[in-house]
């Protein structure tokens, strides 16, 4: 890709030229021509406009609008975007993709590097979806003649990786992966290419809230958007981003009110609750022995029985089994 000047119109353009060593590769030339035709067929505010296409000295070229800014991959760089900013940018991506799908086209290479962001054309950030080299009209995704996958496995849908039929929901899956990357600063699956592919084919996406503090409802949005079965995903890219916006603006979970602090009444210790010895009560006087016996009886039932037996024997009573009788 080059920054060039259209000498006929005197304007700056982005010039994409096929590499010289690929000019004799009929398969690559075919894909390059497809990109030019697909881009020229789309007239949308969020798609990079195509100005010219041709061949000079055996080299194919595409002249497009020069977007002054950066791509979304540069904005992330391991750091998440603010949720409001991410939704604002991705809602424009969703509009562009759904416009493609309404025309029967599937982008098949949705990733942060293909989303150009500029703030020089309006008061707010404006995005352009770029690189339509893999865009197809239904059928299956692009493959080399040897059957090798073409695209970015990091953001590819399972059916695209398997070479199965694709449609707009294939791009919606990729957009859900980009949403995950914008909000967390990393793609859903990381590692070597085989590990990433196995993640898309066989594993559930990680919970976004494990990496950043966001409303839990966003995990459900990502999980549905990255469903392995296209029929279980959102029907359109607009619907996906609308669900994400609602999840991110939902009120936080209510916090349970704190329990009232329990207070405990201070009771006197058992020792302080003991009755004073009978002999110490005012208005009563007992012999020390009787007072001592009564105090012991108060403290212990066994002592009470001994005290009662002693008193009965003193009065002349005799035990007979469990009955007391008095001798004549």
Neighbours of 317 (CB within 10 A): 14
Contact 230, 167 (CB under 8 A): yes
How many angstroms separate the CA atoms of 328 and 201, rounded?
108
Dist. CA 93–CA 101, nearest whole Å: 12
Residue 88's H or E segment, with its range, is helix 83-102
Annotated catalytic residue within 71, 98, 109, 131: 109
Closest alpha carbon to 99 in 91, 109, 88, 87: 91
What the block records as the tokens of 303 is 């002592």
From 87, 174, 95, select the one nearest 134 (Cα to Cα): 174
Alpha-carbon gap, residue 237 to 98, rounded angstroms = 6
Under DSSP, is residue 59 helix (H, G, I), strand (E, B) or coil? strand
Cβ 53 vs Cβ 63: under 8 Å = yes
Torsion of CA 45, 137, 166, 209, to 10 degrees: -10
Our answer to whether residue 109 is catalytic in this structure is yes
Pairing of strands 70-71, 115-118: antiparallel
Residues belonging to the active site:
109
């Amino acid at each position: 890709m080059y920054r060039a000047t259209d000498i006929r119109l005197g304007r700056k353009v982005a010039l994409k030229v096929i590499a010289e060593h690929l000019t004799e590769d009929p398969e690559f030339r075919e894909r390059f021509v497809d990109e030019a035709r697909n881009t020229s067929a789309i007239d949308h505010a969020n798609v990079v406009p195509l100005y010219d296409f041709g061949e000079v000295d055996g080299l194919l070229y595409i002249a497009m609008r020069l977007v002054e800014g950066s791509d979304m991959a540069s904005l992330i760089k391991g750091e998440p975007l603010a949720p409001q900013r991410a939704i604002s940018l991705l809602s424009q991506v969703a509009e562009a993709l759904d416009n493609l799908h309404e025309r029967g086209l599937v982008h098949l290479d949705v990733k942060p590097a293909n989303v150009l962001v500029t703030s020089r054309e309006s008061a707010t950030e404006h995005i352009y979806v770029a690189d339509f080299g893999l865009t197809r009209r239904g059928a299956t995704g692009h493959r080399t003649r040897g059957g090798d996958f073409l695209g970015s496995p990091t953001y590819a849908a399972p059916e695209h990786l398997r070479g199965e039929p694709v449609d707009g929901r294939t791009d919606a899956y990729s957009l859900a992966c980009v949403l995950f990357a914008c909000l967390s600063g990393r793609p859903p699956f990381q590692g070597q290419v085989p590990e990433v592919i196995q993640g898309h084919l066989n594993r559930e996406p990680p919970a976004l809230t494990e990496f950043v503090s966001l409303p839990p409802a966003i995990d459900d949005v990502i999980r549905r958007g990255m469903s392995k079965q296209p029929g279980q995903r959102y029907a359109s890219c607009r619907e996906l981003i609308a669900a994400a916006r609602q999840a991110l603006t939902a009120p936080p979970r209510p916090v349970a009110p704190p329990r009232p602090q329990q207070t405990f009444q201070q009771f006197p210790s058992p020792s302080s609750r003991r009755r004073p010895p009978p002999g110490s009560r005012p208005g009563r006087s007992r012999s020390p022995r009787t007072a001592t016996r009564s105090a012991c009886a108060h403290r212990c039932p066994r002592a009470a029985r001994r005290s009662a037996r002693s008193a009965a024997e003193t009065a002349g009573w005799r035990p007979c089994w469990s009955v007391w009788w008095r001798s004549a």
